[in-house]
């Protein structure tokens, strides 16, 4: 059966992919097999992956605990960061901080020729990285080589600015991060220039999805119990990760988001279950 991905391209439906993702989200093998068989039975030729996701999430909610459905929708949760009031560079800086980097976000630095707004300045082991974040609203979008060229040109201007005493930061290298994918020519160019890349599942085992799942750094946008208004209230309070909610008491969440105490209990419990499994 052929389905239509986010780019509008045809690809073969892979039932085992649904099963593997369910297991990674925390479902038992038996439940994952049952869900994947059900999803496969609902597929029609040419169905869009967005519709398949909806069917899968509904099946997960019926056949597995809520936190599993929440974790399954991690990619969608990252896509909802922007509308929820979170900047992707803030989220990525949280991932870097958890890996031992110290970070500053949205800094303006003078280069040799022009000033530049830097998404993230990351420092670790005495080295400083210029981190450029490329957020996309659709999972099928690729980051093209022009973005890599633009980022490296900014790095060179800032490096020259430092040599001219215009830029206070001496950058050692460049890091390009995205919530989607890089095109092949980006990987080729950045390998040649020594630019570090992080994408949804790149490099293998060290992509954003793997980091979030391994370290349980789930954004609050995964929570099924959150409505847009509550997301926005938490965003204004700087509460980005599920673990941030777990650290607070129910009455604190109630006051921050102006919600009922019972609602605060539900939200905190879902966040706790997501972080603990």
Per-residue pLDDT of the chain (277 residues; tens, 9 = 90+): 888 887 788 999 999 989 988 888 778 888 889 999 999 999 999 999 889 988 988 888 788 766 777 778 888 889 888 876 678 999 999 999 999 999 999 999 999 999 999 999 999 999 999 999 999 887 778 999 999 999 999 999 999 999 999 999 999 999 999 999 999 999 999 999 999 999 999 999 899 999 999 999 999 999 988 998 999 999 999 999 999 999 999 999 999 999 999 999 999 999 999 998 6
- In a domain, residue 202? The reply is yes
State the pLDDT at residue 28: 83
| Whether residue 183 sits in one domain with residue 117 | yes
State the pLDDT at residue 7: 72
| The last residue of a domain, from among 192, 213, 234 | 213
- Is the pTM value of this prediction over 0.75? yes
SS3 content of the chain, % helix, strand, coil (to 5): 50, 20, 30
- In a domain, residue 81? The reply is no
State the pLDDT at residue 178: 95
Considering only CA atoms, which of 217, 216, 237, 220 is closest in space to residue 228? 220
State the pLDDT at residue 85: 67
- In a domain, residue 36? The reply is yes
203 upstream amide cis, omega within 30 of 0: yes
DSSP secondary structure, 181-234, as one string:
EE-HHHHHHHHHHT-EEEBTTBSTTSSHHHHHHHHT--BGGG-TT--HHHHHHH
| Whether residue 260 sits in one domain with residue 196 | no
What is the C-alpha to C-alpha distance for residues 95 and 84, in angstroms, rounded to an integer? 18
Residues in the chain: 277
Contact 262, 210 (CB under 8 A): no
**Other CB atoms closer than 10 Å to residue 194's CB: what's the count?**
9
Strand 115-124 to strand 127-134: parallel, antiparallel, or no bridges (unpaired)? antiparallel
State the pLDDT at residue 54: 87
| Whether residue 237 sits in one domain with residue 202 | no
State the pLDDT at residue 83: 74
State the pLDDT at residue 138: 76
Considering only CA atoms, which of 38, 83, 65 is closest in space to residue 221? 83
Based on its alpha-carbon atoms, the radius of gyration of the chain, rounded to whole angstroms, reads 21
State the pLDDT at residue 73: 82
- In a domain, residue 72? The reply is no
- In a domain, residue 82? The reply is no
| Whether residue 222 sits in one domain with residue 185 | no
């Amino acid at each position: 059966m052929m389905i239509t991905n986010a780019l509008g391209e045809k690809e073969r439906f892979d039932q085992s992919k649904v099963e593997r993702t369910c297991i990674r989200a925390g479902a038992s093998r038996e439940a994952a097999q049952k869900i994947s068989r059900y999803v496969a039975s609902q597929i029609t030729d040419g169905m869009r992956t967005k519709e398949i996701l909806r069917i899968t999430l509904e099946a997960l909610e019926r056949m597995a605990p809520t936190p599993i459905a929440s974790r399954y929708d991690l990619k969608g949760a990252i896509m909802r960061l922007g509308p929820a009031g979170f900047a992707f560079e803030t989220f990525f800086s949280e991932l870097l901080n958890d890996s031992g980097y110290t970070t500053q976000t949205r800094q303006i630095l003078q280069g040799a020729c022009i000033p530049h707004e830097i998404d993230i300045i990351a420092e670790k082991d005495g080295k400083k990285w210029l981190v450029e974040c490329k957020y996309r609203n659709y999972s099928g979008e690729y980051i093209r080589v022009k973005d890599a060229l633009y980022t490296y040109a900014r790095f060179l201007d800032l490096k020259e600015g430092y040599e001219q005493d215009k830029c206070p930061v001496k950058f050692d290298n460049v890091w390009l991060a995205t919530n989607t994918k890089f095109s092949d020519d980006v990987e080729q160019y950045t390998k040649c220039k020594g630019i570090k890349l992080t994408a949804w599942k790149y490099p293998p085992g060290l992509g954003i999805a793997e980091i979030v799942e391994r370290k349980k750094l789930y954004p609050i946008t995964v929570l099924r119990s959150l409505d847009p208004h509550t997301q926005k209230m938490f965003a204004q309070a700087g509460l980005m990760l599920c673990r941030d909610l777990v650290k607070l008491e129910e009455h604190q969440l109630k006051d921050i988001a102006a919600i009922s105490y019972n609602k605060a209990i539900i939200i905190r419990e879902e966040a706790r279950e997501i972080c603990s499994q």
